[in-house]
Amino acid sequence: GKIGVQLELPAKLPQRNAATGGIHIDIQEAQVQFGELEVLRNLNLSIPAGQFLGVVGRSGCGKSTLLRLIAGLETAAKGTVRFDGAATSGLRPDVRVMFQDARLLPWKTVLDNVRIGVPDGDRDKAREALALVGLADREKEWPSVLSGGQKQRVSLARALAGDPSLLLFDEPLGALDALTRIEMQQLIERLWQERKFTAILVTHDVGEAVALTDRVVLVESGTISHDQSITLARPREKDSSFAHYESLIL
Ligand code: ADP
Ligand code: MG
């Protein structure tokens, strides 16, 4: 399996945005294509530092491609991606991605999997991250004995252990049962509120995006077709003013 950004870590992490802990992302006129297929075109999106952004859209509309572009795993044919004003390309050490499958290494213990996310493999930092997700007592276990929800917690701990300024979630809860999903949603929301990183959640579940995020954008025809802030206080129930998003996706 591919671990993506998590295995390629430089020794030193850059300074985080002191005010918010997060990073400001500014995408201008981005175009990404695979051969003849233009997946993203003229896409403009500015995400303030510390915002929790939801990205929704039909399957195949380019949500994962957008996340991969932001993560530096995809290159724009045209346009720019700026982090705190600086144009970037390639992987950044302060960006972490969480996928639908936990992508744990089966030959490493839970603790050693989390240590992959820490630049120098520091055990204490890894233990601290495991405690944050409620798995402090499972550090010596093999991934194979964990439930799907626990594996995703370990994956989240690995992402947090590097103290990211940007955390990208690509449908991370899609494979979980309903109850585990709600527990994980609450955990992600709490950690985001405590840590103040910028977060982007890709999901086909509009209700989940509305429950968790500050602002939901819809990707359609390779670009952002709708962009709406959420004004309800947390914790929140589903916001009925987003009903039109559902009808555009389903
Ligand atoms: P989503 O995450 O919204 O389901 P994706 O971003 O994964 O959509 O994919 C958008 C489109 O780009 C799809 O048509 C998909 O088949 C295509 N695509 C994604 N990655 C590649 C790739 N590496 N090579 C060729 N086509 C790709
Ligand atoms: Mg996808």
Q: pLDDT by residue (tens digit) across 178-220?
A: 999 999 999 999 999 998 899 999 998 898 999 899 999 999 9
Q: Is 59 in the pocket of ligand 1 (CB under 6 A)?
A: yes
Print the SS3 string covering the chain: CCCHHHHCCCCCCCCCCCCCCCCCEEEEEEEEEECCEEEEEEEEEEECCCCEEEEECCCCCCHHHHHHHHHCCCCCCEEEEEECCEECCCCCCCEEEECCCCCCCCCCCHHHHHHCCCCCCCHHHHHHHHHHCCCHHHCCCCHHHCCHHHHHHHHHHHHHHCCCCEEEEECCCCCCCHHHHHHHHHHHHHHHHHHCCEEEEECCCHHHHHHHCCEEEEEECCEEEEEEECCCCCCCCCCHHHHHHHHHHC
For the Cβ of 65 lying below 6 angstroms from any atom of ligand 1, the answer is yes
pLDDT band at residue 146, thresholds of 50, 70 and 90? very high
Predicted pLDDT at 238: 58
Instruction: Judge if ipTM > 0.90.
Output: yes
Ligand 1 centroid, distance to 30 Cα (angstroms): 15
Cα of 18 from ligand 2 centre, angstroms: 32
Note the pTM of the prediction, 2 decimals. 0.89
Answer whether 57 contacts ligand 1 (Cβ < 6 A): yes
Cα(75) to centroid of ligand 1, in Å? 14
Residue 13 clears pLDDT 70, i.e. is over it? no
